[in-house]
Amino acid sequence: MKRREFIRKAGAGSLVVGAGLAGVRTAEAKAEIKWKMVTTWPRNFPGLGTGANKLAKVINEMSGGRMHVKVYGAKELVPAFEVFDAVARGTAEIGHGAAYYWKGKSETAQFFSTVPFGMTAQEMNGWLYFGGGLELWRELYKPFGLIPAPGGNTGMQMGGWFNKEIKSVRDLKGLKMRIPGLGGEVLKRAGGTPVNLPGGELFTSLQSGAIDATEWVNPYNDLAFGLFKAAKYYYYPGFHEPGTTMEAIINQKAFIALPKDLQAIALNACKIANQEMLAEYTARNPAALKTLVEKHKVDIRTYPGDVLETLRKYSREVVEELARKDAFAKKVHDSYMDFLEGSREWGSISDFAYLQARDKA
Ligand code: CA
């Protein structure tokens, strides 16, 4: 290519890039309604952060540009664990996180993310959309001026990363582990010390020894954080998070101010984000697991049966105690448990029986 021709082509290229950026700015500037979305995830973090991006993108596109949602990663506008308050007070109109992060506001909120030895992703969606779960969730957040919606699901998580083998429940004693929600309470009962840290702080905390162990999500996310560089053993199953629902929270006043069609778009965009996140994890975990095992030589271990049995017993205690906190907690607990019971019976002759038959060696 002649030099002049090259310069001309390069110039044309940068012109196109420039026009693209201006296009984005115009779309935001032109929108009648501008919303800020705050999230508990690092910006663009695979699966979770990109799930939040997806939610914003769907709203922007479906509104035909009338509405523009701008996404802020953790700490960009507010710290990860201030998302709930920021949306409640209207600093941002919408947030993306997980309900168990807000147990300081209401312990009952934890039922809407995940329960140790509780429902899978598919069951959570059944309960939330058709089993009365979402109505209860909305009732719980109403006094905070917030409208919640399922906004993603990780599917089955892993047990976590440890630097020592877990041979018996005694090995959990004194263990300082990052594990949020009710799973943390279960660890406490087993003699451990649960701590809650935002995802962005896990790697350095584990590497520096500030914590002894951590759970995060599943192979796709855990590989992205490089947790295999800071711990030897990767345990399963994630008894504490068998299908965690992510949440979108919308400021009620901002929602009411929307025209009816944009209200429908915002809520339906949450459904799309909920579905897509689970599909993405389902698609990406197998390859990530392969990389962890084959390339990074991660030692995959299962919790021994008696450890799981003890953890199951503690889980039941923790959940039952939560149900005794107040009348609303009991109502949510009973709704959740009734649904789980029905699902258990059906599941045993459907998914469970089928997977056993399909994958029998
Ligand atoms: Ca987790």
pLDDT in tens, 135-188: 999 999 999 999 999 999 999 999 999 999 999 999 999 999 999 889 999 999
- What pLDDT, on a 0 to 100 scale, did the predictor assign at position 17? 46
76 alpha carbon – ligand 1 mean position (Å): 22
Rounded Cα gap, residues 85 and 95, in angstroms: 10
181 alpha carbon – ligand 1 mean position (Å): 9
Phi and psi (nearest 5°) for 262?
Answer: -75, -30
215 alpha carbon – ligand 1 mean position (Å): 6
157 alpha carbon – ligand 1 mean position (Å): 6
Pairing state between β 245-251 and 160-162: unpaired
350 alpha carbon – ligand 1 mean position (Å): 27
244 alpha carbon – ligand 1 mean position (Å): 8
160 alpha carbon – ligand 1 mean position (Å): 8
Pairing state between β 245-251 and 94-97: antiparallel
- Closest C-alpha to 50, from 152, 150, 125: 152
179 alpha carbon – ligand 1 mean position (Å): 7
Alpha helices in 174-296 (DSSP H): 181-189, 202-208, 219-225, 252-256, 260-290
pLDDT in tens, 323-333: 999 999 999 99
What do you get for the CA distance between the two ends of the chain, in Å? 59
245 alpha carbon – ligand 1 mean position (Å): 11
Rounded Cα gap, residues 149 and 323, in angstroms: 22
Question: How would residue 199 be classed by pLDDT, with cut points 50, 70 and 90?
Answer: confident
175 alpha carbon – ligand 1 mean position (Å): 17
With b meaning 16 or more CB within 10 Å and e meaning fewer, what string describes 1-40?
eeeeeeeeeeeeeeeeeeeeeeeeeeeeeebebebbbbbb
Q: Which sign does the torsion angle of CA 63, 65, 66, 69 carry?
A: positive
Mean pLDDT of the chain: 93
Rounded Cα gap, residues 192 and 314, in angstroms: 13
Q: How many CB atoms lie within 10 A of CB 153?
A: 27
Q: What's the number of CA atoms in the CB half-sphere (13 Å) around residue 45?
A: 24
Answer whether 197's CB lies under 8 Å from 212's CB.
Answer: no
Q: Which of 17-31, 70-84, 198-212, 325-339 has the lowest mean pLDDT?
A: 17-31
243 alpha carbon – ligand 1 mean position (Å): 9
pLDDT in tens, 36-53: 999 999 999 999 999 999
Q: How many CB atoms lie within 10 A of CB 203?
A: 16
Residue 125 has pLDDT above 50, yes or no: yes
Q: Which of 17-31, 77-91, 325-339 has the lowest mean pLDDT?
A: 17-31
136 alpha carbon – ligand 1 mean position (Å): 23
Pairing state between β 299-302 and 176-178: unpaired
Answer whether 36's CB lies under 8 Å from 77's CB.
Answer: yes
| Sheet architecture: strand order including 33-39 | 67-72, 33-39, 94-97, 245-251, 146-153
Tokens encoding 153:
């699901």
Residue 8 has pLDDT above 50, yes or no: no
Domains and CATH numbers, the chain: 31-153+243-282 (3.40.190.170)
Instruction: Give the rounded percent of residues in the chain with a pLDDT score beyond 90.
Output: 89
Rounded Cα gap, residues 54 and 210, in angstroms: 34
Helix (H, G, I), strand (E, B) or coil at 33: strand
Answer whether 190's CB lies under 8 Å from 172's CB.
Answer: yes
Residue 1 has pLDDT above 90, yes or no: no
pLDDT in tens, 273-308: 999 999 999 999 999 999 999 999 999 999 999 999
158 alpha carbon – ligand 1 mean position (Å): 8
Tell me the Cα Rg of the chain.
Answer: 22
Question: How would residue 21 be classed by pLDDT, with cut points 50, 70 and 90?
Answer: low
161 alpha carbon – ligand 1 mean position (Å): 11
pLDDT in tens, 229-275: 999 999 999 999 999 999 999 999 999 999 999 999 999 999 999 99
Helix (H, G, I), strand (E, B) or coil at 222: helix
